[in-house]
Amino acid sequence: MYKASLILLSAIKGFQNKHSSQENSIYLAHLRSDNKPRPNIVFVLTDDQDVHLASLDYMPFVKKHFLDKGTYFNKHYCTTAVCCPSRVTLWTGKAAHNTNITDVNPPYGGYPKFVTQGFNEAYLPVWLQQAGYNTYYTGKLFNVHTVDNYDKPYAAGFTGSDFLLDPYTYNYLNSTFQHTGETPKSYEGEYVTDVLAQKAYSLLDEAVAADNPFFLTIAPIAPHANIQMNGSVLDDNHTFEFGSPVSAKRHEHLFKDEKVPRTTSFNPDKPSGANWVLELKQQNQTNVDYNDHFYRQRLRALQAVDEMVDGLFDRLEAHGILDNTYIIYSSDNGFHIGQHRLQPGKSCGYEEDINIPLIIRGPGVAANHTTDIVTTHTDLAPTFFDLLGIPQRDDFDGTAIPVTKAGIELAQERRREHVNVEYWGFAGGEGKYDHDVLHENNTYKAIRILGPGYNLYYSIWCNNEHELYDMDVDPSQMHNLLSKDHTISSTIANLPIHKVVARLDSLLFVLKSCKGITCQQPWKSLHPKGDVLTLEDALSARFDHFYVEQQRVEYNFCSNGYLVDAEGPMWEDHGSVFRDGLMWYEWV
């Protein structure tokens, strides 16, 4: 065993110029080589769970079983900060501009759009079954997956399932589930996460009894807001009533003195952000008090999830499969409460909404380890493939996340450093002070990029306003360096801002319509010789003129969905610069 380990380490050292996921795969293959059964995956996917409001600090069983025993990826991001588009990206490995599922409801999103776009035959559970895995799911799948359309068609690719269905998905005390092949059943009066936990344990027992490798997803709604719906959005005259999350009775007394973290951006005296965010009024004390209550309800609602996690690990251990199972914890998107004067909600590109939990535990994964390599939900489907030894698909926009210590160490130097963030449509609040207000023109594109000497967020809204934040000096994103009111001379990476912005804008221009390998390696589209792989490389003075001449990202108009006519110039038609029939890289 010792000799084998030395050979393994030597192999890893010898592949220094390869992508870190290859080293990851070498080690994972080594773990599977001793005639062990193929590994399982259990995936816990919460709804709207934050990182920056410190929700994980209130989940002792998540700490015990995940954080203390696994690896925490603290720079993990969703790429579209709302439920359905984010989940479709997660299950397909494709950016939202490639799925064209950009909203929670029709015509731009929801389960009906997922089906008509052809993804019911081309997403993770279908691919896993083709690779010989049994697949199980309980909880929320997508928005507008309803008691009327759950069988039109059935969600494909599941060996066993027990789905939460609209219009009862977000009603903590009046849920409806639909078990494999059966008609929907109401659980009125029962607490939804407790119902879900029993269904999860039952599916786990079923998966183990089948004596076949499996992938089990458990998707509770906590800590999402409570919503009472009078019909789904497909029904005439439907109504929604938002309220704070609801906890189980046994948790109602907890956290009585907790408040939303009072960070610099919390309900600031001066407005911040851009577009409609910049116009928000400061919240009065009554509003702040309610938001603190909303925050406490989120923490309380997560306690039943935390207990479910503990029960899950007890059962994995009792079944004797814990050591051969990857267990993963994440959320579909983040959440804000009061930051930038925002009411409770998501849908923005700020750090609270896009930076989300990702914790992985399992064979070969370092225990009690934290890494800051950049990862996204676009990477999860490729990662699941990698963990299970399935060859990567050419049409993935993401790349497998390294989970071994060796792979992570290599990724610190070689993994891509950017997150492509995109959103279309409106932003809606979920608290009681603006639940009936839709903030229009919330369409934007952004880059979150981290590297040596820079830690940046750059965005362009559909009204063509720009934002740039230096997150090292302004982690709360309070000082937009591209605001017309910003008069202080600033530099980034010891360079004038306009030089850095020129590179960021060109990178975003490639990413806004990228597919496959171009999403993974966008700098190669700008510099096909391969001599530029990072922003640090691109900031070389020899490229100054090239970036001055590049087409800029701009919208033609604001649209509530992904419409090519609204998107403005595209890389495929207006990218790079040609001179005398030669591309720029042939000149430099």
The neighbouring-strand residues paired with 215 are 41, 135
**DSSP code, position 72:** E
**DSSP code, position 537:** H
How far is CA 260 from each of CA 336, 360, 453, rounded to the nearest angstrom? 10, 27, 31
Separation between Cα atoms, residue 252 and residue 157, nearest integer Å: 38
Cβ within 8 Å of residue 565, ≥6 positions away: 556, 557
Query: Which positions are catalytic?
Result: 83
φ/ψ region of 184 (left if φ > 0, alpha if ψ in -120 to 50, else beta) reads beta
Strands (DSSP E) found in 220-321:
226-230, 239-243
φ/ψ region of 231 (left if φ > 0, alpha if ψ in -120 to 50, else beta) reads left
Query: Would you mind telling me the total number of residues written for the chain in this entry?
Result: 588
Separation between Cα atoms, residue 124 and residue 112, nearest integer Å: 18
What's the first-to-final CA gap in the chain, in angstroms? 51
Using only the alpha carbons of the chain, give its radius of gyration: 23
Separation between Cα atoms, residue 55 and residue 66, nearest integer Å: 14
Other beta carbons less than 10 A from residue 96's beta carbon: 28
Cβ within 8 Å of residue 374, ≥6 positions away: 75, 77, 415, 416, 417, 418, 419, 448, 450
